[in-house]
Amino acid sequence: AVSTITGALAAIKHAHASAGLALDPHSPAIAAVMAGIARCASRPLRRAAALDLETFRTLIARIDGTDVRALRDRALLLIGFFGALRRSELVSLDIGGRSRIDITAAGLILHLTDTKGQAATETLAIPRRQDALCAAAALERYLAATQLRRGPLFRAVNKAGRLGARRLDATSVRHILIARVGAPTFSPHSLRAGFITAAAQAGAPEHLIQRVSRHKSVNVLRGYIRAGEPFATSAAHYL
């Protein structure tokens, strides 16, 4: 991929600088080669399929058990969707600590630290709902059943159905989603893309969606929206 080659070029520049040698990656010779690589090796941008709201509602309805695994998976998927979280952010959540969730009467407040290379803590809110898609209610049921008081929020469950001490890793989110959907159609990023697309389809203003997704660029955010609803966002509807 072009991005991989660009990363390699940055590493070569760093190695030269460490050795006291000069290398300008923007010199005409290197720029010409990189332009040629971009023309020959560029690939279409592949985005994760967005998990639309009705499919997501059906998915949550299937997780109807009261065992620890079901309670964990329901809470994990609901928080991941309505928080538009990256999978690394989802599994890094703790009870207490820096990256944590506070439960309030109005809903959940997430404090996300060290997200995507940012040292500052970002805060977002997930309001309570009056239906089966309430992330706050799902989290309360999970905590009541497990009696967790500190440490990692989402943990591994052993074959006997007991919650362990080990934090789930980012790969586990994919395994849970595939197991619950029944096919490898969606990826963990589908939760994030699904929320953004569903919110846009419901008419939510871009700045409010961006407050949840925490995209620095509105153009990146619009890429999700256009990919999710290409006809709904067409100007031809106004003609």
Contact call for residues 188 and 170 (beta carbons, < 8 A): yes
Give the end-to-end CA distance of the chain in Å, rounded to a whole number. 40
Please give the pLDDT value at position 68.
96
Q: Is the pLDDT of residue 117 over 70?
A: no
Please give the pLDDT value at position 220.
81
Q: Is the pLDDT of residue 7 over 60?
A: yes
Q: Is the pLDDT of residue 9 over 70?
A: yes
Residue 35: its H or E element: helix 28-41
| Reduced 3-state DSSP string for 99-152 | CEEEECCCEEEEEECCECCECCCEEEEEECCCCCCCHHHHHHHHHHHHCCCCEE
- Domain 53-194 CATH class label: mainly alpha
Backbone dihedral angles phi then psi of residue 108, each to the nearest 5 degrees: -110, 140
**Nearest by Cα to 99 from 122, 72, 81, 127:** 122
Contact call for residues 32 and 178 (beta carbons, < 8 A): no
- CB proximity list for 213: less than 8 A, separation 6 or greater: 84, 192, 195, 196, 221, 224
Task: Identify the DSSP state of 151.
Answer: E
In terms of Cβ atoms closer than 10 Å to its own Cβ (0-12, 13-18, 19+), residue 148 is: middle
Please give the pLDDT value at position 189.
87
Per-residue confidence band for 114, with pLDDT thresholds at 50, 70 and 90: low
Beta strands 163-167 and 107-112 are unpaired
**Nearest by Cα to 164 from 178, 154, 179, 177:** 154
Distance of CA 68 to the CA centre of its chain: 23
The DSSP code sequence of 80-95 is HHHTT--HHHHHT-EE
Please give the pLDDT value at position 119.
57
- Please give the model's pTM, rounded to 2 decimal places: 0.77
**Nearest by Cα to 2 from 43, 33, 32, 30:** 43
Instruction: Provide the 3-class DSSP secondary structure of residue 194.
Output: helix
Q: Is the pLDDT of residue 2 over 90?
A: no
Domain extent listing, the chain: 2-41, 53-194
Q: Is the dihedral of CA 28, 33, 35, 36 positive or negative?
A: positive
Q: How many CB atoms lie within 10 A of CB 18?
A: 8
> How large is the angle between the packed helices 189-201 and 53-62, nearest 10 degrees?
130
Mean pLDDT in residue range 37-46: 74
